[in-house]
Amino acid sequence: MVEMLILLFKLLISHALCDFSLQTPSMASGKNRHNIPKDDALPPGQKPTACWPYWLTAHALIHAGGVFVVTGNLWASLAQLVTHWTFDFVKCEGFTSPHIDQLVHTCVLVITASILSMPA
């Protein structure tokens, strides 16, 4: 149980770093498909492009990298990539609030720590 709590603490630290310190304002805005730049914010003649999948995927990959650094487990890292991408997309679509988004991310980390701490 102590090992699981230590792992969870490390995962929560990683999550805080990835979601707050390492997420730039450009990434936070760019990962939302509804935040496509307006024509007046672009150079003359340039059309807006939908770069949100790149921003969202980069953000989710940062989280996956954090989980990989903490756990060394590829499967846990891939699960983090998929779940973080999915839940942030859902949040950006307005289906949930930032508070619920953080709660879901925390639940995923609790599940990850629990599974990885199970005896073999």
Burial of residue 109, with CB atoms counted within 10 A of its CB: 0-12 exposed, 13-18 middle, 19 or more buried: buried
Task: Sketch the domain layout of the chain as residue ranges.
Answer: 2-116
Write out the chain's pLDDT in tens, 120 residues.
999 999 999 999 999 999 999 999 889 988 998 887 665 566 666 666 678 899 999 999 999 999 999 999 999 999 999 999 999 999 999 999 999 999 999 999 999 999 999 987
Alpha-carbon gap, residue 3 to 91, rounded angstroms: 32
Alpha-carbon gap, residue 51 to 63, rounded angstroms: 19
What pLDDT does 2 receive? 93
Alpha-carbon gap, residue 55 to 118, rounded angstroms: 34
| Contacts with 96 (C-beta within 8 Å, 6 or more apart), sequence order | 87, 90, 104
- What residue type is assigned to position 15 of the chain? H
For residue 92, the 8-state DSSP code is H
What pLDDT does 26 receive? 86
What pLDDT does 18 receive? 97
What pLDDT does 40 receive? 56
* HSE-up of residue 85 (Cα within 13 Å, Cβ side): 17
What pLDDT does 118 receive? 92
Alpha-carbon gap, residue 98 to 19, rounded angstroms: 12
